[in-house]
Structures are given as structure tokens and as C-alpha cells.
Amino acid sequence: MKITVNGEEKQFDSGFTIADIIAELQLENRRYAVEVNLEIIPKSEHNQHALCDGDRVEIIHAVGGG
Amino acid sequence: MMLTEEQQQRYKRNIMLDDMGKHGQEILLQSSVLVIGAGGLGSPVILYLAAAGVGHIGICDFDKVDISNLQRQIIHTTADIGREKTISAQESVKLLNPDVEVILHQEKINAENIQTTIKDYDFIIDATDNFASKFLINDACVSMQKPYSHGGINGFNGQVTTVIPKSPCYRCIYGDDFAEEVKEINGVLGAVAAVIGSIQATEAIKYLLDAGGLLSGRLLIYNALKMEFKELRIRHDDDCSVCSDIK
């Protein structure tokens, strides 16, 4: 299945979850959220949330300045 | 309360708004908003709340005005360099609108003082410049059921959302915070702070007037370089360490 991650189209096996995508990105010690099709998916759901063909996934980084 | 003749002139263009009117203006004049951080975001927030006639504005900051603040912190002037930001901001408010009572909180918020600092206010603005404060404000506002506006800026980017009782909170977006950060000093455009701060002030005023729809359950992301706004839906995280017991 084709999934767009941060604007780049990529090929994944079906059943791939948000957690699987996160594992491939280096996000340790980053404050981030994952958006799928303009909805932020709660972190407690990342392990179960299977992605679908055509999904658009974006990593959103928290912004801490003021 | 009754608006004086002068107030009816000062707030004429507010009063003409269908969602405000004289009654709404009276509500604003009797309302209180606490702005935590009198910097890049806090400057436009405080100025717009004061201009609109929010009657009681709390200003919380511990810092002094530095020359490097002035490219974005427009409530302070060159003559204020070295002065407390709270006092400098208070003077700007008084010049703009003497109707407004300013309450100064000359302190850095922490786990010990946050609840007493926010408890008397109708609405809170997170205009702070670090994650520890942003999480602290979120947790205190959620637990005390205080509505607040979260704002963050960095470079050409900004994010803003409104958290009200029962809505998803900041931790529903980003989860739990981790180890203490080393505060990074990054570039930021003053006009970006103005966009986000102006949205925060608008949300506070709308909340006080019970007008329109708030930015709760939604995160608005602003990319000034691309000049794009993106709106993301936010859901409750059932495992949220702060709001899952409360909602």
C-alpha cells in the first residue's frame, strides 16, 4: 500500500501501524504528534492504528517558544 | 454596570459587533484574563485585550526587558531595557486604555504557585517560551477546570489551540513531557508571534462573550514561510495522564 509520510510517498506492507512508522523515524527525545489525514491520533492508539492505502501521515513537532 | 459616555465612544466599534453590543462590552470590562509570559506572544495578547477593554488583566513574568527582545516584544520599548517586563507592560496598557486594571505577578510559575496564580481568572493565556511551563499550565488549567489558550512559536512557525473543560488537552496531543530541557535560543519572526498571539486574544474574547466557536479540539498550525494554515482535529487520549479522569 502507498502511504504519504511527511509529503513523501512510500510503499508499506499492509497492516503497518503508526508505531511501525515511528520506529523508522528518529524521534527519541522529541515532542511530537502523529497526524493521519488531518487528525491527530492519540499516542495510546499508535500501536493498534493500522494505516490504509492512500493515508497521509505527518509528524507534527511541538513548538515551545513564546 | 453602565458604560460611560467616553466608554461608549472608546468601544464604539466593539459595540457595533453583533456578537458584542453594549452588554458584551460590559462583560469584557468585568472579565479577567491572566497572560503568562509578557514576551513575543504576550505582547500582542496583552495589547489587544487591553484595547478591547478586558477590565482586569493579569501579567505574569519574572524577566527583564533585553534589547534582543525588542524585534518581537512590541509591548516594550527601547526605554524599557533593563526594567521588569511586568512593569513595562503595565505602563503600555495604562497608556493604551486607563479602564484596564493590571494585576502584576512578578514571578516564575512553578508547581507550587501555579494554582494560586490562576485561580481568580476567567481565562488564561499560555504565552510562555518553554515546554515545562506549557505542560504546567495545561495540567493546572485542566485540573482546576480553567479555560486557556495554548500558543507556541518558533522560527516562521506557530501553533495554537484552546483547551476548555472537557475538551482534549495539550497532553492529548503531545503525550507526557520528558526530562528537563536545555532551553534553546532559536530565531523567531516578530510578525509570527503577532499572528498567534492575536488568535489567542481573539479566543479569550470569544470565550468571555460566549460568541462563535472556539479552537478547542483543534490544533491550528501556521507556517509563515509557505503562508499556510493547517487545522488538525484533536481527540481525547483515553490514556491521557491529565484529562482522562476528568472528562
Domain encompassing residue B127: 31-233
Which pLDDT tens digit goes with each residue over B189-240?
999 999 999 999 999 999 999 999 999 999 999 999 999 999 999 999 999 9
Interface A-B: count of C-beta contacts within 8 A: 84
- Asked whether residue A66 is domain-assigned, the answer is no
Number of domains in chain A: 1
- Asked whether residue A44 is domain-assigned, the answer is yes
Q: Which of these, B135, B126, B97, lies nearest to B33 by C-alpha position?
A: B126
CA distance A51 to chain B (A): 17
Interchain contact, B152 vs A62, CB within 8 Å: yes
- Asked whether residue B247 is domain-assigned, the answer is no
Which H or E run includes B221?
Answer: strand B218-223
Q: What separation, in Å, do the N-terminal and C-terminal C-alpha atoms of chain B show? A: 36
**Chain B contacts of A62, Cβ < 8 Å?**
131, 152, 159, 173-174
CA distance B86 to chain A (A): 16
Residue A19: the pLDDT is 95
- Asked whether residue B19 is domain-assigned, the answer is no
Which pLDDT tens digit goes with each residue over B149-168?
999 999 999 999 999 999 99
- Asked whether residue B60 is domain-assigned, the answer is yes
- Asked whether residue A14 is domain-assigned, the answer is yes
- Asked whether residue A52 is domain-assigned, the answer is yes
Alpha-carbon distances of A61 from B129, B159, B212, rounded to whole Å: 15, 10, 29
Asked whether this complex has an ipTM greater than 0.90, the answer is yes
Number of domains in chain B: 1
- Asked whether residue B122 is domain-assigned, the answer is yes
Task: Count CA atoms closer than 13 A to B66's CA, side-chain side.
Answer: 6
